[in-house]
Chain A
Amino acid sequence: MSGPRPPGADEIFWAAAAEGRLLLSRCTPCATVIWYPRPFCPDCGGRDITRFTASGEATVYSYTVVRKARGEYRDLTPYVVAYVELAEGPRILTNIIECDPADVHIGQPVTLLFDPPEDTAPEADDNVRARLYRFRPRL
């Protein structure tokens, strides 16, 4: 007997993203905040996971100004790709937007936004028009 498959960790994450929420997972037994999403804790192997919405506060851990790119990003240079360290712990890959790339620096406080603002789920891994979590300098 097979009914509808319950949503997996990726589907739950991206459904929340489509609603404008960056969803994190915490391992209940060991309290580790897990990144990237998966249905178990890579630190302790526990499968008891609770989900919560990230605060959206982060700092730039490292970044690069991309000046030559391919595909749908080719005409968008220069743009900033960064690792930001979330207030909750994980360092995640993202873009820093709404600023001059020359103003980005390591340690800079940044805030989450979803861009573009329309509610569209990403259709392909390299779809530049997908609605994604990105960050801007904290005002």
Chain B
Amino acid sequence: MTVRGAAFVVGAWEHPRRDIPDLSVAEIHAEAAFGALADAGLSPADVDAYFCDSDAPGVGPLSMAEYLGLSCRYLDTTETGGASYPSHVGHAVAAIATGKCRVALCVMGGRPRSLRRASGPDLSGAPETPYETRWGITDTVHNYALAAMRHMHEFGTTGRQLAEIKVAASLHAQHNPNAFLRTPVTVEDVVSSPMISDPLHRLDCCVMTDGGGAVVVAAAEVARRLPRRSVAILGHGEAAKGTANGRPDLIHTAAVQSGPAAFAEAGVTPADIDYASIYDSFTITALMALEDLGFCEKGEGGRFVQDGALVAPHGRLPMNTDGGGLCNNQPDNRGGMVRMIEAVRQLRGEAAPEVQVPDCRLAVVHGSGGRLATRGSAATLILGREDA
């Protein structure tokens, strides 16, 4: 069974602010929720399903659906870090296809910048924690660096190649008035920025911002009567990858499962994709995702991203035209929602004119969560223009 054609993204809204000390997390969620509904031309009364993860305050949908005045018959709180939101959309399509709901509201938001604290689930009781946290992995970057170092060892990937991902993001971000960092940088700037955790430099790391976003997923018959251009959800895949009983390979991500599943469901291949939104918590995160999604062979990612391949509008695979997590934003330390929203803009022809991919018909959205060198999630969506 395929979900193709069952549901569409009919509304999307990204919070324009990057530092939001004056709003509560619930208020940020509300602005995103109402923003996406207004974009869709729907009202809260139309919503019958709510999707959120652990960045929602209170008891997820119990607190938030009540706060927003929603009456829901379907709830999903899948929590896989930065992959949660593409997963929510995939789950919403499946629920719509089986008649469990018709209009699903998927919301996220958070304030790691203004609250100056880490976010995400409390790991103190996790079974792996005593065996992973005591040796000074005090920041997420230390974990990702272990994977980057192994990738360099096995495939000869270089810091200058990783830097190309940041350079492309910065060239895009200059056209996004809301982006946290809007100044273009060079490869030289990246590799001469302070080393944080070898081999990752400061400019290999994403920004830390407040923010949020939401999308509305609706059944085909709802989408048809809305005036707004909608986006078809053609395929979805998700997976988790762990340390494999103490034998992690460090060079693959869960995208080796989520990617092929999503492409197969959509009936397309990486070569058909016009635009990619790939969560880039670090440069190495996006590079390994590109390989695992099949845009190049394993180990070829460094060569693939060279020579402006990711730069819109005319690169081989324009990626993260909003500036990505590396330059635009990273609400609640997880990028799956806001990257997805840029893919919706591209497929509606509403990206910034300088970075709009001409005749953009097919896009891949890829979220990842957890930590690259231990356990991580992946969620992949194939989205298409309304007529795809």
Using a CB–CB cutoff of 8 Å, the interface residues on chain A facing chain B are 10, 14, 32-38, 42-43, 61-71, 73-74, 76, 79, 81-83, 89-95, 106, 122, 125-128, 130, 132, 134
Contact = CB atoms under 8 A, between A and B. Distances in A.
Given A64-B198, A73-B136, A106-B150, A91 B130 contact: no
Contacts of A82: 146
B197 A65 contact: yes
Interface of B: 124, 127-139, 142, 145-147, 149-150, 153, 194-200, 243, 245-248, 250, 373
Contacts of B243: 35-36, 91
Given A62-B153, A70-B138, A92-B246, A83 B130 contact: no
B285 to A, nearest CB: 15
Given A34-B245, A89-B247, A95 B196 contact: no
Given A66-B197, A68-B196, A83-B373, A34 B134 contact: no
B134 A126 contact: yes
23 contacts: A43-B245, A62-B146, A63-B146, A64-B149, A64-B200, A65-B195, A65-B197, A68-B139, A68-B197, A73-B138, A76-B136, A83-B248, A90-B245, A90-B246, A91-B243, A106-B149, A125-B124, A125-B133, A126-B134, A127-B134, A132-B134, A132-B135, A134-B135
A93 B130 contact: no
A95 B142 CA distance: 12
A112 to B, nearest CB: 14
Give 4 closest A-B pairs by Cβ, nearest first: A35-B246, A90-B246, A64-B145, A62-B150
Nearest to B200: A64
- Best-surrounded residue of B135, B137, B145, B247 (most CB of chain A within 10 A): B135
B373 A62 contact: yes
Given A125-B129, A125-B133, A62 B149 contact: yes
B245 A64 contact: no
- Chain B: interface secondary structure? loop
Contacts, number: 115
Given A66-B197, A89-B246, A90-B247, A95 B146 contact: no
A83 B146 CA distance: 8
Given A69-B138, A94-B135, A128-B136, A36 B127 contact: yes
A95 B89 CA distance: 40
Contact of B198 (A67, A70, A125): A67
A93 B131 contact: yes
A102 B271 CA distance: 42
Contact of A92 (B131, B139, B147, B195): B131
Contacts of A95: 135-136
Given A62-B373, A125-B134, A32 B245 contact: yes
Contacts of B145: 64
B250 A62 contact: yes
Contacts of B146: 62-64, 81-83
Nearest to B199: A64
Nearest to B146: A62
Contact of A67 (B153, B196, B248, B373): B196
A14 B124 CA distance: 17
Given A106-B149, A106-B153, A81 B135 contact: yes
A39 to B, nearest CB: 11
A37 B200 CA distance: 31
A93 B197 contact: no
B150 A126 contact: no
- Best-surrounded residue of A34, A65, A74, A92 (most CB of chain B within 10 A): A65
Nearest to B144: A64
A62 B146 CA distance: 6
Nearest to A71: B138
A93 B135 contact: yes
A92 B132 CA distance: 8
A125 B130 contact: yes
A93 B133 CA distance: 9
B325 to A, nearest CB: 19
A58 to B, nearest CB: 12
B132 A93 contact: yes
Contacts of A68: 139, 194, 196-197
A76 B352 CA distance: 45
A51 B6 CA distance: 53
Nearest to A62: B150
A36 B197 contact: no
Contacts of A38: 127
Nearest to B137: A81
B139 A70 contact: yes
A37 B246 CA distance: 10
Contacts of A90: 245-247
A77 to B, nearest CB: 9
A65 B198 contact: yes
